[in-house]
Structure 1
Amino acid sequence: MLVVDDEEDVAETYALRLEANYETRIATGGKEALELIDDSVDAVLLDRRMPDMHGDDVLAALRERGYDCPVIMATAVDPDLNILEMDFDDYLCKPIFNETLQNTLEKHLDTGPDEKSELDTFLSLISKIDVLETELTRAELAESEEYERAKQRANELAPRLRERVEDFDELVATYRDIERES
């Protein structure tokens, strides 16, 4: 687990919360995160707003380098429709409580290899949809083709996943219970 936050105290707090279940590394900026990442990192907890390199740019660099581990955005930045285009797996608004952090990581790391790709895509979509529906008005959402495409894609994936993933509806309900907004 790589924890990335420009506020060292925040990064250390997250790492302490996670160390019982995960081996953690801390980066206090985007450039340091890109230096510390390697194939042994199974997930990244990534702040969006950092002075040396924006979290969105770190995310893009990670994906360009071929890292496909789950990336959880941990941020105080209010989400906007631009998150629909970003290749992260979940979006948590600070402050993030320990239970929320643990549950989120569990959901992203406990999928089997056969269902991982579609299930990760689905969970990422519903995370983005839920956060946007909480933070934006109906009028703003109604104007967004990207939002409608995300909802349509989630609706297409759900029946296939329901057939393949044991307790799919329960998993989704539990996942949606995670508090993503501040």
Structure 2
Amino acid sequence: MSESDGSAGEQPTVLVVEDEEELRRTYELWLASDYEVLTAAEGEEALELVEDGVAVDVVLLDRMMPGLSGKETLSEMRDRGVGAKFAMVTAVEPDFDIIEMGFDAYLTKPVDEDRLRDTIDSLRSQEAYSDALDEYTSLLAKKETLKTRKSEEELAESDAFAELETRLAELEAELEDADSGAGDDAGFVAALRSIDEGTQRTEPEES
């Protein structure tokens, strides 16, 4: 376990949970200038860290690790009330099982520095959102991930994907019907929807 030279409390804290030492060091090197970076080589080590009361803002989780998997580590952290944002950073191709996972972003390796930083910045910006918008952004990330990896036929045949789209529509309606105090949230939902639609239009076709 290690951390950057930044003073505690002055920078947001990112916990990198990755069993490959070279990747842990690479992510830490990329992030250390702007974040306090903590690292763990396995899920159990990460759980011990948060159990000791270390405050974490964003957790980057590999899915396939010795001992506890990333999915199990994520579930344990959620159960223990860890209030961080979670991004899966993994070589595992996403399948429909990701719909039931409690992550906020899903990155498929290899990941470059800009994409990793952009994801962390985006997750950090969500901290003040309402619970409904939190759920909306999480589900939208899962929808976008599946749409880039599954064929239209597979999506159409999936009951889980249909339920995801139904829940997204319910959340959109809930946020857009909110009172004036949530007006900014509703506008953000519209912006997210337009980004999602733009992603669908520009997604390159596989050869």
TM-score tier (shorter): 0.7 to 0.9
Q: Does 1:29 align with 2:42?
A: yes
Look at both structures and tell me which one has the larger radius of gyration over its CA atoms. Answer: 2
Give the superposed CA RMSD: 2.1
Q: Does 1:19 align with 2:39?
A: no
CA contact (8 A) 1:79 1:131 kept: yes
Aligned to 1:51: 66
1:76-87 aligned within 5 A: 76-87=91-102
Structure 1, residues 21-47: CA drift from partner, whole Å, max 9, x if none? 211100011111111123511110000
1:149 to 158, 163, 187: 163
Counterpart of 1:35, as a letter, is E
Where structure 2 has 5 or more consecutive residues not aligned to the other structure, the ranges are: 1-13, 177-182, 200-207
Residues in 1 aligned to 2:117 and 2:22: alpha-carbon distance in whole angstroms: 19
Structure 1, residues 60-92: CA drift from partner, whole Å, max 9, x if none? 111111113111000000111000011111100
Residues in 1 aligned to 2:26 and 2:195: alpha-carbon distance in whole angstroms: 25
Aligned to 1:6: 19
Name the structure, 1 or 2, with higher relative contact order (CA <8 Å, separation 6+). Answer: 1
CA contact (8 A) 1:39 1:67 kept: no
State how many pairs are aligned.
176
SS at match of 2:36: coil
1:31-180 aligned within 5 A: 31-37=44-50, 38-111=53-126, 113=128, 115-161=129-175, 163-165=183-185, 168=188, 169-170=190-191
CA contact (8 A) 1:74 1:94 kept: yes
TM-score (norm 1): 0.86
Counterpart of 2:38, as a letter, is R
Counterpart of 2:104, as a letter, is D
Structure 1, residues 83-134: CA drift from partner, whole Å, max 9, x if none? 0011111100011111111111111111353x24222211111111111111
> Aligned-pair distance for 1:161?
4.2
- Identity of paired residues, percent? 39
Counterpart of 2:49, as a letter, is L
